[in-house]
Amino acid sequence: MQELQRHRLTNRILSGVLRYKNYDDEQVYLITKPNRQQDYIAEQLYDDVIDDNKFENLYTIEQILRILLYYKFIPFDYEKRLKTLSKKADDAKIALYEAMTVVNDTGKQKQIKKARERIKSVNTKYNKLSEDVHSLDYVTLEGYAQTVKSQYLTLCSLQTLDNKYIFGDQNPATVVDNSYASSLFSNVINFVNDTKISMNNLRIVSRNEPWRSYWGANKQNVFGKPSIEWTDDQRLLVLFTRMYDGAYESMNCPGEAIFDDDDAFDGWMVKEQRDREKDRNKKQIEDSLDRHGNAEEVFIPAANLQQAKQIDEMNTVESKMIKKSKFSAIKQLGKVKEQDLPDRKQQRQMQAVNEYKDKVIKK
């Protein structure tokens, strides 16, 4: 992103408004953040629409999902697939981060390219499935209620250049049903969508000048108003800024190349989180083992498959071999008494050998 564009986006976010020119009537408006009272009224308006139309011929989101599943427009296990794809994306980002931190490796660029292609492929699949799942949300009862809510909030946030609300304190129903308001809403929504600041650009702004100077000068009140009055862009910008601040203060702070690459930075964060979770689980397991003294075997229940793998990794190589031999015997024989398990037989053999040695030494 060019410096000029960063300055423009920073000033736009700091202002808390968006300038809009409606070419239908050549009027210029300011799009502001709705106040708390308007937010509350919008929520009530949403509930009213749901209550007033629950017995009309409108499908709910749950009913639409059943239709999509019945006609196989989406797979029956779509939730599991979305979760799996999300994890695969995280794994690919970790691979990108690790590839970028390799020093003097001849295959480094190949690994980076492979990781980027993997991220792109997984994200494409995730977005496609997510779009399919929500493809008919707009025809549902909830979708209609959300449209009415959005229309009200959008129209209530429109001001003239001298900071006067164009619809004043009109009744929400009057505003929503107004034909001019309906046309204006459509135009404004298209404009807002076309000029929306992407997450990528928000992240770029958050880690560069001129925003960093504003943030460093007054972190506690950078926008000059309470956080409840921040716009969505202001809130996200601060969240991203704090995220990068935390990374800079980390003992494992990544290099600047990682900071400048969103996917690689995400990979670093996921890896850090997984490592912390692994260390935490390891400590819990070690504490549990300490409570059992010198017991030969300790059974530790796992909350999920991932934790089960972490518990298994605590076993020594010898313990893993014993486990493997036990499972093999059970699989082969079906039902085995504990004393007939391979490791128990081996223990008795070793005990017999040691007893024989003791007798020989005593003689």
State pLDDT tens for residues 56-84: 889 999 999 999 999 999 999 999 999 99
- Percent of the chain clearing pLDDT 90 (strictly above): 58
Whether residue 144 has pLDDT greater than 80: yes
Q: For the chain, where are the alpha helices, taking DSSP H only?
A: 3-15, 36-53, 61-70, 78-100, 108-133, 141-156, 172-177, 179-194, 199-206, 211-217, 232-248, 256-259, 262-290, 305-313, 317-333, 342-362
pLDDT score for 362: 61
Which of 35-44, 274-283, 345-354: highest mean pLDDT? 35-44
For 298, left (φ over 0), alpha (ψ -120 to 50), or beta? Answer: beta
Q: What does each C-alpha distance from 152 to 20, 37, 39, 53, 148 come to in angstroms? A: 17, 12, 9, 18, 6
pLDDT of residue 173: 53
CA distances from 195 to 14, 136, 189, 190, 265 (A): 16, 25, 10, 9, 26
Tens-place pLDDT, residues 8-20 = 999 999 999 999 9
Q: Which of 238-242, 280-284, 300-304 has the highest average model confidence (pLDDT)?
A: 238-242
In this prediction, residue 51 has a pLDDT band, given cuts at 50, 70 and 90, of very high
Q: What is the mean pLDDT of residues 172-195?
A: 78
pLDDT value at 239 more than 90:
yes
Residue 207 pLDDT class (50, 70, 90 cuts): very high
Q: Output the CA torsion sign for 65, 70, 76, 81.
A: negative
Tell me: pLDDT of 271 over 90: yes
Lowest mean pLDDT among 40-54, 180-194, 242-256: 180-194
Q: Which stretch, 111-120, 281-290, 343-352, has highest mean pLDDT?
A: 111-120
Residue 296 is predicted with a pLDDT of: 64
Is the pLDDT at 277 greater than 90? The verdict is no
Return mean pLDDT, the chain. Answer: 87
